[in-house]
Amino acid sequence: MLISDNLKHLLQVLADGHFHSGTELARVLAVSRTAVWKHLQSLAELGIDVVGVHGKGYRLQKPLQLLDAGQIEAHLDAWIVPLLRGIDIHAVIASTNAYLMEIANRSQISGRVCLAEYQTAGKGRRGRAWVSPFGHNIYLSIVWHYPGGPAAIAGLSLAVGIAVVRALRKLGIDEVNLKWPNDIYWRGRKLAGILIEVSGESGGPCHAVIGLGLNVYLPGRQAETIEQAWVDLQQIAGDEIILQRNRLVALLLNEMLPIIAGFEPAMLRNHVEEWREYDCMRGREATLFIGQQRFDGVVRGIDDQGLLLMESGEGEIRAFASGEVSFRAS
């Protein structure tokens, strides 16, 4: 899907959330009223809700802040800038993770960041689709090269989760928790997810693409396909948060980049206690899925290596390095 220059211009005009008449929009875009109407229909296809009121014109259901590299960089901490090797912002892309993975396969670059307003093939764990309406959320990926190979980044998703919680707290979002191994929750509902994809030799250098999908605002009709309890920042903090997307990206990079750049397994020990503070599963009944295998039990937290501890009905505690955990109804 391509977005025309006229459609981008229309979004920039409507982004203020105010009403604009069809005549005004036609004049600004130098197109006919019919063309304006067609552009408005295209916005709906991107997941952007437009309100039309006779005699007043058109406005977005919610205000919009488009991503801007200059605004993001203005909010970055000075000591973070040397870790950054460029910010690529795409109006439409298949997947920010896939984009950086393709770049990483051709080079050993570290610190490249990719952001998108809209993903046509955004993905979560186990190949699930990630709902990606245009301009409303954060779709962020970072690539980093690790000479030590995949074994050198065991537990990275736990550390990145802590970075996300820290960033959200600086934005004033409290009661944020972590669900092993890579989900961010707020009051029992999913707010964000982390997806790390690794490519390289098992015993040699590798590159990792760390992807984050964070719900800032999910229009109701876009969220109808989500099968689990979810929440967005707009529900937590109100409409003003929608206009802080660029600042939010900077806060995330301020926290994520140092952890990603300096990560090694021994470093995880420095984060385990903080991760445990945010653990939303400890003491709860859950089911762990590893492929077709299923394990039922009570979550007993994580060990010092970041492995999930689960206690079976017989009282045996086992440690798991991977898998997907689902809450069980109490």
- The domain locations on the chain are 5-60, 69-276, 281-327
Q: Token match 């764990």: residue?
A: 125
- The predicted-structure confidence for 57-80, as pLDDT tens digits, reads as follows 999 888 889 999 999 999 999 999
**Nearest Cα residue to 207 out of 121, 119, 111, 123:** 111
pLDDT score at 224: 64
pLDDT score at 107: 87
Residues with catalytic function: 125, 190, 328
Whether 170 has a binding-site annotation, put simply, is: no
pLDDT at position 311 over 70: yes
Whether 97 has a binding-site annotation, put simply, is: yes
- Spatial neighbors of 203 by CB under 8 A, at least 6 apart, are 149
The topology (CATH level 3) of 281-327 is SH3 type barrels. (2.30.30)
Q: What is the mean pLDDT of residues 84-90?
A: 95
Alpha helices in 20-132 (DSSP H): 22-29, 33-45, 69-74, 96-104
The radius of gyration of the chain from alpha carbons, rounded to an integer in Å, stands at: 21
| Portion of the chain with pLDDT greater than 90, in percent | 64
pLDDT score at 198: 93
In angstroms, the CA 76 to CA 254 distance is 6
The neighbour count for residue 291, using CB atoms within 10 Å, is 8
In angstroms, the CA 233 to CA 256 distance is 19
Helices (H) and strands (E) in the chain, counts: 9, 14
Whether 246 has a binding-site annotation, put simply, is: no
DSSP 8-state secondary structure symbol assigned to residue 240: G
Q: Work out the end-to-end distance of the chain between its first and last CA atoms, rounded to an integer number of angstroms.
A: 44
Whether 38 has a binding-site annotation, put simply, is: no
Of the pLDDT bands very low, low, confident and very high (cuts 50, 70, 90), residue 131 is: low
pLDDT at position 281 over 70: yes
Whether 119 has a binding-site annotation, put simply, is: yes
| Portion of the chain with pLDDT greater than 70, in percent | 93
pLDDT score at 123: 61
- The predicted-structure confidence for 167-199, as pLDDT tens digits, reads as follows 999 999 999 999 999 999 999 999 999 999 998
| 66 phi/psi in degrees, rounded to 5 | -75, 150
Residue 200, SS3 per DSSP: strand
Q: Please give the structure tokens belonging to residue 15.
A: 């982004």
pLDDT score at 19: 93
pLDDT score at 124: 55
Query: Residues 213, 138: contact at Cβ < 8 Å?
Result: yes
Query: Residues 276, 302: contact at Cβ < 8 Å?
Result: yes
What's the length of the chain? 330
Tell me the CATH number for domain 5-60.
1.10.10.10
Residue 265, SS3 per DSSP: helix
In angstroms, the CA 139 to CA 90 distance is 10
Domain 69-276 has CATH 1.20.190.20: no
Query: Residues 173, 237: contact at Cβ < 8 Å?
Result: yes
The neighbour count for residue 237, using CB atoms within 10 Å, is 16
